Structure 1
Amino acid sequence: MSAAVSTQIQLVRRPKGWPEPEDFRIAEVAYGELAPGQVRVANSFLSVDPYMRGRMNDAKSYIPPFVLGETMTGGAVGRVVESAAEALPVGSVVLHQYGWRDLVQEDAAGFTVVPEIPGVPLSLRLGILGMTGMTGYVGLTAIADLQPGDTVFVSGAAGAVGTATGQIAKLLGAGRVIGSAGSPEKVRLLTEKYGYDAAFNYKDAPVRQQLKALAPEGVDVFFDNVGGDHLEAALDVMNRDGRIAACGAISLYNSTERAPGPDNLAKVIQQSLTIKGFTLGGYTHLREEFGTRMAEWFGQGKIAYDETIVDGVEHAVDAFLDMMRGKNTGKMIVRV
């Protein structure tokens, strides 16, 4: 066993509004020889996700904020290159939360072994076969109680969670699925590749106007990744007993001022709506169920996916910022 040096990304300043490259630094961290029970993992792919923006603020949330001057964390998949833990031999492929670095050395308990699937990139463990796919599944089933024939609206539909959610909704029996995206190319992708029945570019006209035109018979389930004007528009068209799964509010993450609330919250009362926010931490018991169903769909060729890949851990911040600006299609991934 030997010493090693890891390249890592650290937060050095809390962003005000949109993060800037100067809020981060690249650090070289030396690892000594492995202690008993530890493993050293060479990361293959790192995940950058919208929730990470919230962790850059010093604010109480469902997950602790990043600590200034320390390496950030996040989803990653890699391979064990040295091991002092019998349960994780060299060569094992593992999922973990020690992202934002090319090499990690920690106790074996922090890693989960996953099988390699012939012909399937390891990166999919961070996307459609992992957290983002499961987010869509949990939101539609455990939160929104999707029923066959339901009309579903997904905001931010061309992102990692949105592309998964639309497909899963159709596979679960949704009658009509509508999505929003930020460019004509993404709108076409939603209907031509991801099975959306209709989609619109939220930059073309007010969301309220466009959604109403595409959902003349109303919406039963709203899977919200955006918040803001998308939530307001959905409230206008929700059918009685409609369900809203609040997954994210990316339109608000970089705001420096409090955003006004929807002007039509009375719809919640009038239409007997249910709004429930969620994070995956409370639904780990559904991991096996999701894994079984997704493996079946994937094996049957019923699942499409896109990845936007940025090479090099030193470009992880660029990947994160591009993802926050919607420059990705599907899952944004950093390839180490």
Structure 2
Amino acid sequence: MQPRSRWKPINGVLLLDKPVGLSSNDALQKARRLFQAARAGHTGTLDPLASGLLPVCFGEATRFAGMMLDADKEYLAQVCLGVRTTTGDAEGEVIETREVSVDEYALHRAVHAHVGDIEQVPPMHSALKHEGKPLYEYARAGETIERAVRHVRILEIELLDVRLPAFSMRVLCSKGTYIRTLAEDIGAMLGCGAHLTGLRRTRTGPLNLDEAVTLERIAAYNEEVRGVLLGPPDMLLQTLPSCRLGEADALRLVNGQTVPVEAVETDSVLQEDCMVRAYRGGRFLGLVVPRHGYLRVKRLLPQESAQTS
């Protein structure tokens, strides 16, 4: 770790392309050291086997990291039929091998049968916690913990490359969806079993992998200019409606007072009790909530941290 005196009050959002082999926390800490950021957090874990988009929040942007936990996610997944493993992915030991006698038509039917609201049992080899300890720690010790069924939603599945017994697919899903469990369930429906051989997250809410950078690219930048790789805190909130306040109303808001909804400029009708991005000029102030005709503070940035440092 950096000496305490070297940590800096960096504020902003880094779209990190996490490599295979690193946990989300390891990737976070490497990015944090590269920026010497005093405070950092991420918006949702990726397994070490998975690569792809990991939004990392520095400084005041961490105030809004929780907003991304509920966002829909998009993945590119590689699956192998006919082989089941202890972990449901390529890191586990093979526990069963079966002949694959399905055709592409049967695969299409099985895949699209999982679109919509489905139930999943979280895998034992996951970061989901039981009594404060990740399930994978119990699994490594040979213990099995009973897990509650989860209700998740698969919004879209698109088959991309079918070369049986292997295939790849694009999956758009709700939070809490386990893609390795989805692969196993598809294999079970086909009667031959399956496991995940690769996984890459390509989207989290409004954020896309196309805009992400690798740890190597960050390191290639001179320390003094790495800040150009950071986006502002409100990039996490692009799907929310926005409003613009005049100087006097903005001052009232940052002092904890309410502001009449009719006094602000908006591009759409503001829904009661739904979060709204608030701006003064082009400066992001934070989140407000309309209630009974007035905007009330939900979460604000300190004014000196309202833009990326």
Q: TM-score, normalised by structure 1?
A: 0.23
Higher fraction of strand: 2
